[in-house]
Amino acid sequence: MGRHGTIAGRKAAQDSKRAAVFTKYARAITVAAKAGGDPDYNISLKHAIDKAKSINMPNDNITRAIKRGTGELAGETYEPGSFEGYGAGGVAVIVDVLTDNKNRTTSAIKHIFDRFGGNLGVPGCVSYMFERKGIILIEKTEGMNEDDLMEVALEAGMEDMIAYDDSFEIRTATDDFDSVSDALKAAGYEFAEADIEYVPSIENSPESPSDIKSLTKMIDALEENDDVQNVYTNCAVELG
């Protein structure tokens, strides 16, 4: 979602809507588990479980979500989808969803774009401005050595590392994400976040305060929708 905020800001945002985040992550686990309930043989399920554990989702919730995916428990059937468009100021936006009612979700997403001065487009209209990358976010802690972290990540296949005030962001090719994350875990590093994401290759810097305000409200409204899993933008200005 554009440039990342502080670790503290992300944690505060997650805490304020923890129940909703649990619901989203449970859906992701359920969908991934359709291809098999053993994360050792289902990499998508492994990623989904790792994300859920990063926000301290109870193991019982994770187990139930897996069983719904494998059919051991009854539940809704969710299908993945993606929407593309522009927000205020011409900022490119990609919205990933998991939905049990595509018509409902499409209507809701379009309404949010329209309400805040955006324009929902056709598939492919903005995705060419993004690349798929593995992103691993590690919180800075006392005594952490940047050179040691970089060495471990580089040996495992890291492409780049960005140092922020309170964290390090490690970027990988999608094929190298698991090897890098496994190496970092083996070296004792804990992740604030880790996932395959859309990273903008072309950024947009809206200058109008009203555009930034509208864009922030639109993204907040999208993220509050239960069907929305992730929202990505190419906004170079930190929002929120």
**Structure confidence by residue, pLDDT tens digits, 117-161:** 999 999 999 999 999 999 999 999 988 999 999 999 999 999 999
Spatial CA neighbour of 121 closest among 133, 134, 106:
106
pLDDT of residue 20: 80
Tell me yes or no: is domain 7-70 CATH 1.10.10.200: yes
Tens digits of residue pLDDT in 47-60 = 899 889 888 899 99
Contacts of 13 (CB under 8 A, 6+ apart): 5, 240
